[in-house]
Amino acid sequence: MQKFRSDFLREEYFYLKHDSGLSIYIYPKKNYKSYHAVISTKYGSVNQKFKLNSEIIETPAGIAHFLEHKLFECQDRDAFEMFSKTGASANACTSWNKTEYYFSCSENFKESLKILLDFVQEPYFTESGVNKERGIIEQEIKMYSDSPGCQSNINLLNSLYWNHPVKEDIAGSVESISRINAGLLNKCYESFYNLSNMTLCLVGDFNPDDMLEFVDKNIKKPHKNNKVESIFPDEPEEVKSHFVSEKMEVVNSYFDLGFKHKVSGRNITCREFIISDIILRIIMMKSGKIYNDLLDKHLITTNSFDYELFDGPYYKSSIFSGESENPEKVAEIIKNGIMQYRNNGVNTEEFSRAKKCYYSDTISLFDRVSSIAETIISMDFSGYKIFEFIDMVSNIGINEINEQITKDFNENNWALSVISKNK
Amino acid sequence: MNKISSVDICEGVSFSHINSKKFKNFGISFVFFSPIEDKLASNLSVLISVLSDSCEKFQNFKDLNKQLEEMYGAYLDYCISKIGNYHVVDLSILATDDRFTINNEKNISKVVDLICELIFNPLVSNNSFNEQIVSRRKKEIIELIDAQISNKRTWSLIKCKQNMFKNEKCGISKYGSKSEVLNITGESLFKVYKSMLESSRVKIMMVSSSDCSDIVTKLKKNFASIRKNLSFDFEPNKFVIPNEAKNISEKMKVQQCKFVMGFRTPFIKPQKTHAMSLFSAIFGGIPTSKLFMSVREKMNLCYYCSSRFDSATGAMYVESGIEESNFEKAKSEILNQLTKIQNGEITDEEINDAKNYLIQRANSISDSMGRFQDWFICQYPFGQSETPEEYAKEISEISKKNIIDCSSKIYLDTIYVLKKEG
């Protein structure tokens, strides 16, 4: 096991690439009563088309999410039922680029970990089980269709991207999931739930050697050499459309303003990730010009505005979202403000404050066992390690920020999605 | 176990400090409790928002936030809620603990000074808050009121509660009404501010690695000059058996029908409510609950079907989202599961699973600064301060008979259904 330590944070963890191919992170957290375990595969809603050995397979939208639902079903009983015996709170989540299975507990950690490792390694897909789940997922899809925030985000991605599967809803549609069957789920499982495509992270007050030994005993599958390669379509640099709108039962309009960024490889580097995050903080700083302009003009409120860097395999964008009476005006102010940064550069004081905020948000991650595990997994999938962030942020210079703004933002790479009130 | 020490600052104002080196951040919250009254909800909501905007020292939002960013992005937040018959508003800051600042800066004392400035020295002239700021913050609260309809699941719960507690204090919306918000002026708000500091009950909670004697001195000094005698005692919610269940429905352009069933129970704080909490967990609170296993897993009618119990009002709510044509089927299955428990159809395994779940969640509370603070804040109106360990012990001792007894005292009061239009 390789040990990583940050003297400044007073934290350490261990990493091992197991013989099975599984990446294992073991993170002791002294004096914590909670434990958290996550096992994740690099398989999300964007991995719809792939090459398995030499066969090209195309799957319906929503299949990764469907598989996540069905993996909880074991031959003799449901994994949730087994977790209920150990008292752990378990769940799973499918996103665009990964599927995670996790649990938290304060007792019986090993027993729960065994359940997690067992059900992820032992799929049990039957046609009757698939049919039964379809009704439940249909209701989940409908639940999200009634959420203006989710709908606005999906519509935005559909406007930013022409071909990339990131534009599709993670859960798919009622139509697409009707094409899913047990055979297809098995094929996807064999392709993406290969342990070399997966990462396990354990956080809690335990002995790391003891944990590793326990995990080692519970890895059943011999490492299969399935060669899987996801296929992504060519994606133009331009956005598909600048504006999309839909009507729903809301009072104020919901909006998502997105900027589509050019990507040069599968994932952005750790450094680019930090730089892009700091840029968003500068643009939308609460003490900054754009934010205060929007507040003073009563276009947003402090409760209803957010932003995020949205990145994954062959996609990267910056998204500003919220509620407003006039989303078009909000978009105009943000776009003009960004162009001013692009033309005049970033002010050193703002840059220094944004770095401080970035630093404090990053160290906050170490206060919760769940956020440590989630961050480690996300970083592992992008090819970097958790302490690199803290070390790297201090030596990022203002020139890199200005260069990245020029690369990432221009007058045309934006799209605005609006959900407005039913008349 | 983290060490908790509590000091009375003056009558009705208590300070609790959780001394812990576990976290890289520290947190401080000022929580104000006032008995529910008409119009007070809207005033307190706007007030707490105004207090988070600026103060005498940092006279506008921009300058205040520049200062917060300098303090390692100290996160200032306000929160508006209700606990039983009480309005609860709080102002809190979460920031980097002194042990983790880059150049050993003393962040804690600076942040504490700042939150005291916001609370004790707001931007006021001629006994009035700044009208421009008040106007902006009124808009913010109106937006929060308007936004409730956007989340249809939350909306359904709000509507069920409103109809259930129509003529009772706890039925008043936590934000108040739009028309009340619109009537607020800088001057009227200043009166509410004075009265909140003078006579509401106040809990100040802090979690940090540092000694807090300076903070106690500072708080005593600040409250000494403004505090008046408390004019109220905490009054628990009253239990009444509903005559007949009310059926309320509304139509909207939605994809999915949502419904909430509101039940009344006599288990209301400060009485013991743990057996009822355990009942709710078994009934619909955990992933292997009776409702999850029957309505979702067996009948495949929904994605969610769950129950939640509010010990401050004694109400239990069951929520689900379904095809409208399945409503009667889902409703009768929910009532059927309740009858089954009333008839004693509950296994030791189900009881142990739910106990295990609740106990483990309680055990992990001290690992989260926010959850740890909330744990004590929720009990404060009832004069209780049970630790998570004490709660876990009580839960472990509840018998099957206790649970069945609870199930026989659950009365359906209101069913709210949000239906598809057209």
Q: Which residue of B lies nearest to A89 if distances are taken between CA atoms? A: B357
Between residues A174 and A73, which one has the greater pLDDT? A174
Is residue A15 in some structural domain? yes
User: In this structure, are strands B315-322 and B257-264 parallel, antiparallel, or unpaired?
Assistant: antiparallel
Same-domain pairing of A123 and A248: no
A361 at B interface, C-beta within 8 A: yes
Is residue A113 in some structural domain? yes
Q: Name chain B contacts of A86, Cβ cutoff 8 Å.
A: 356
| Cβ pair B255:A80 closer than 8 A | no
Please name each of the domains of chain B with its CATH number. 3-224 (3.30.830.10), 246-420 (3.30.830.10)
- For residues A87 and A108, the answer to whether their CB atoms sit within 8 Å is yes
Alpha-carbon distance of B207 to B211, in angstroms, equals: 10
Cβ burial, residue A350 (10 Å; 0-12/13-18/19+): buried
- Closest Cα of chain B to A324: distance in Å? 9
Q: Name chain B contacts of A84, Cβ cutoff 8 Å.
A: 286-288, 353, 356-357
Same-domain pairing of A30 and A75: yes
Residue B255 DSSP symbol: S
C-alpha count within 13 angstroms, C-beta hemisphere, residue A146 = 26
- Closest Cα of chain B to A223: distance in Å? 33
Is residue A53 very low, low, confident or very high in pLDDT (cuts 50, 70, 90)?
confident
Alpha-carbon distance of A123 to A295, in angstroms, equals: 52
Same-domain pairing of A208 and A262: no
Which one from A12, A58, A68, A73 is the annotated catalytic residue? A68
A367 at B interface, C-beta within 8 A: yes
Give the CA distances from residue B128 to residues B133, B141, B184, B187, in Å, rounded to whole numbers and listed in that order.
Answer: 11, 19, 11, 4
Residue B238 DSSP symbol: P
Q: Which of A199, A230, A261 is the last residue of a domain?
A: A230
Q: Which of A230, A259, A288 is the last residue of a domain?
A: A230
Looking at the DSSP bridge assignments, the partners of residue A57 are A50
Alpha-carbon distance of A135 to B299, in angstroms, equals: 10
- What integer is the mean pLDDT of A25-52? 97
Same-domain pairing of A204 and A85: yes
Same-domain pairing of A90 and A137: yes
CB < 8 Å from B in window 1-60 of A:
8-9, 31-34
A391 at B interface, C-beta within 8 A: no
A128 at B interface, C-beta within 8 A: no
Is residue A238 in some structural domain? no
pLDDT at B232: 63
Residue B272 DSSP symbol: -
Same-domain pairing of A277 and A385: yes
Size of interface A-B (CB pairs under 8 A): 176
Domain holding A285, by residue range, is 243-421
Tens-place pLDDT, residues A14-24: 999 999 999 99
A150 at B interface, C-beta within 8 A: no
Instruction: Determine the straight-line distance between the first and last CA of chain B, rounded to whole angstroms.
Output: 57
To the query of whether residue A249 is one of the catalytic residues in this protein, the response is no
CATH code where residue A332 lies: 3.30.830.10
User: What is the pTM assigned to this prediction?
Assistant: 0.94
Integer-rounded Cα radius of gyration of chain A: 22
- For residues A19 and A210, the answer to whether their CB atoms sit within 8 Å is no
**What tokens appear for A44 in the block?**
């999300």
3-class DSSP string for A88-116: CEEEEEECCCCEEEEEEECCCHHHHHHHH
- What integer is the mean pLDDT of A120-133? 94
- Closest Cα of chain B to A224: distance in Å? 34
> H or E stretch including B51?
helix B40-51
pLDDT at A224: 66
**Cβ count within 10 A of residue B179:** 9
Same-domain pairing of A198 and A304: no
| Cβ pair B69:A363 closer than 8 A | no
Alpha-carbon distance of B52 to B77, in angstroms, equals: 7
Q: Which of A173, A200, A230 is the last residue of a domain?
A: A230
Q: Name chain B contacts of A300, Cβ cutoff 8 Å.
A: none
* Residue A223 predicted with pLDDT over 90: no
Q: Which residue of A lies nearest to B104 if distances are taken between CA atoms? A: A8
Backbone conformation region of residue A357, classed left if phi is above 0, alpha if psi is from -120 to 50, else beta: alpha
pLDDT at B2: 64
Same-domain pairing of A215 and A249: no
Picking from A82, A146, A423 by the largest number of B CB atoms within 10 A of its own CB, the best residue to mutate is A146
pLDDT at A154: 97
Of the candidates A87, A292, A356, the beta carbon closest to that of B72 is on A356
Of the candidates A80, A254, A360, the beta carbon closest to that of B96 is on A360
Give the CA distances from residue B178 to residues B19, B145, B175, B217, B339, in Å, rounded to whole numbers and listed in that order.
Answer: 42, 7, 9, 40, 41
Of the candidates A31, A143, A304, the beta carbon closest to that of B321 is on A143
Mention every residue, 6+ apart, whose C-beta is less than 8 A from residue B300: A132, A133, A135, A136
Alpha-carbon distance of A332 to A329, in angstroms, equals: 5
Alpha-carbon distance of A178 to A172, in angstroms, equals: 10
pLDDT at A129: 92
**Cβ count within 10 A of residue B56:** 13
Is residue A86 in some structural domain? yes
Give the CA distances from residue B285 to residues A60, A89, B219, B280, B305, in Å, rounded to whole numbers and listed in that order.
Answer: 33, 12, 40, 6, 9
Of A232-246, A264-278, A382-396, B223-237, the least confident: B223-237
Cα dihedral sign, B314-A140-B331-B353: negative
Looking at the DSSP bridge assignments, the partners of residue A24 are A16, A200
Picking from B26, B143, B158 by the largest number of A CB atoms within 10 A of its own CB, the best residue to mutate is B143
Same-domain pairing of A210 and A291: no
Q: Which residue is listed with tokens 């890895």?
A: A219
Q: Which residue is listed with tokens 């999605």?
A: A417
pLDDT at B1: 47
pLDDT at B135: 95
Picking from A139, A281, A298 by the largest number of B CB atoms within 10 A of its own CB, the best residue to mutate is A139
Same-domain pairing of A146 and A37: yes
Cβ burial, residue A85 (10 Å; 0-12/13-18/19+): middle
Is residue A158 in some structural domain? yes
Q: Which residue of A lies nearest to B49 if distances are taken between CA atoms? A: A302
Of the candidates A133, A287, A369, the beta carbon closest to that of B367 is on A369
Q: Please state the domain count of chain A.
A: 2
| Cβ pair B139:A298 closer than 8 A | yes
Same-domain pairing of A171 and A252: no
3-class DSSP string for chain A: CEEEEECCCCEEEEEEECCCCCEEEEEECCCCCCEEEEEEECCCCCCCEEEECCEEEECCCCHHHHHHHHHCECCCCEHHHHHHHHCCEEEEEECCCCEEEEEEECCCHHHHHHHHHHHHHCCCCCHHHHHHHHHHHHHHHHHHHCCHHHHHHHHHHHHHCCCCHHHCCCCCCHHHHCCCCHHHHHHHHHHHCCHHHEEEEEEECCCHHHHHHHHHHCCCCCCCCCCEEECCCCCCCCCCCCEEEEEECCCCEEEEEEEECCCCCCCCCHHHHHHHHHHHHHHCCCCCHHHHHHHHCCCCCCCCEEEEEEEECCEEEEEEEEEECCHHHHHHHHHHHHHHHHHHCCCHHHHHHHHHHHHHHHHHHHHCHHHHHHHHHHHHHHCCCHHHHHHHHCCCCHHHHHHHHHHHCCCCCEEEEEEEECC
Give the CA distances from residue A15 to residues A3, A24, A385, B246, B382, in Å, rounded to whole numbers and listed in that order.
Answer: 6, 6, 10, 59, 48
Q: Could you tell me how far CA A421 lies from the centroid of its own chain?
A: 30
Q: Name chain B contacts of A147, Cβ cutoff 8 Å.
A: 150-152
In order along its 422 residues, chain B shows pLDDT tens digits of 467 899 999 989 999 999 989 999 999 999 999 999 888 999 999 999 999 999 999 999 999 999 999 999 999 999 999 999 999 999 999 999 999 998 889 999 999 999 999 999 999 999 999 999 999 999 999 999 998 998 999 999 999 999 999 989 889 999 999 999 999 999 999 999 999 999 999 999 999 998 888 999 999 999 998 988 676 667 778 898 998 999 999 999 999 999 999 999 999 999 999 999 999 999 999 988 999 999 999 999 999 999 999 999 999 999 999 999 999 999 999 999 999 999 999 999 999 999 999 999 999 999 999 999 999 999 998 989 999 999 999 999 999 999 999 999 999 999 999 999 87
Mention every residue, 6+ apart, whose C-beta is less than 8 A from residue A127: A181, A182
Of the candidates A252, A364, A422, the beta carbon closest to that of B25 is on A364
Of the candidates A292, A302, A361, the beta carbon closest to that of B62 is on A292
Q: Which residue of A lies nearest to B145 if distances are taken between CA atoms? A: A251
* Residue A2 predicted with pLDDT over 60: yes
Is residue A386 in some structural domain? yes
Q: What is the dihedral of CA A182, A186, A188, A192, to 10 degrees?
A: 150
> H or E stretch including B76?
strand B75-83
**What tokens appear for A205 in the block?**
């007050």
Picking from B2, B96, B107, B150 by the largest number of A CB atoms within 10 A of its own CB, the best residue to mutate is B150
Among the listed residues A412, A363, A381, the one whose alpha carbon sits nearest the alpha carbon of residue A312: A381
| Cβ pair A303:B140 closer than 8 A | yes
Is residue A235 in some structural domain? no
| Cβ pair B367:A143 closer than 8 A | no
- Closest Cα of chain B to A8: distance in Å? 8
* Residue A332 predicted with pLDDT over 90: yes
| Cβ pair B102:A360 closer than 8 A | no
- Closest Cα of chain B to A238: distance in Å? 32
| Cβ pair A140:B303 closer than 8 A | yes
Same-domain pairing of A379 and A300: yes
Is residue A35 in some structural domain? yes
Of the candidates A89, A139, A360, the beta carbon closest to that of B73 is on A360
| Cβ pair A292:B61 closer than 8 A | yes
| Cβ pair A84:B357 closer than 8 A | yes
Mention every residue, 6+ apart, whose C-beta is less than 8 A from residue A113: A37, A202, A214, A215, A218
Provide the ipTM.
0.93
